[in-house]
Amino acid sequence: MSYSLAKQFYTDIDKVAQKQAGQFVDAAHITIFNALLTEAKSKHPNDTVLQALPQAEGDVRYSDMLARAGLLMQILKDVDAGPHLGIL
């Protein structure tokens, strides 16, 4: 899972969230986020912040998904840069 894929997903969610922030995320976006997260966790098993990030389930609003996608993107950017400290 690369930072660039996480960034693209964030950009896509941001576009939708600007118009539908209070609406629930469609199943396809939840599936994509969970797949990106699962792949990232498997590639970085020792990153405690990444491992603590939960999968998206049920009714998630676009504003929340934007925050989750942003956090995933930032974690992956930090992982590429080296060790980091973070709090969820």
Determine, yes or no, domain membership for 52.
Answer: yes
Q: How far is CA 61 from CA 7, 14, 56, in A?
A: 19, 12, 10
* Residue 64: predicted pLDDT: 95
Q: What is the pLDDT of residue 37?
A: 95
What is the dihedral angle through the alpha carbons of 78, 39, 6, 20, rounded to the nearest 10 degrees? -130
On whether residue 26 sits in a domain, the answer given is yes
Does 86 map to a domain? no
Low-confidence spans in the chain with pLDDT less than 70: 1, 81-88
Residue 86 confidence (pLDDT): 52
The verdict on residue 65 lying in a domain is: yes
Q: Residue 40 in contact with residue 3, Cβ under 8 Å?
A: no
In the chain, the number of structural domains is 1
88 found inside a domain = no
Domain assignment present for residue 29? The answer is yes
Q: Which residue has the tokens 């939708």?
A: 16
Q: Which domain holds residue 70?
A: 3-81
**CB-based contacts of 6, cutoff 8 Å, min separation 6:** 36, 40, 69, 72, 73, 76
Q: What is the per-residue pLDDT across 51-67, written as a single tens digit (0 to 9) for each?
A: 999 999 989 999 999 99
In a domain, 16, yes or no: yes
87 lies in a domain? Answer: no
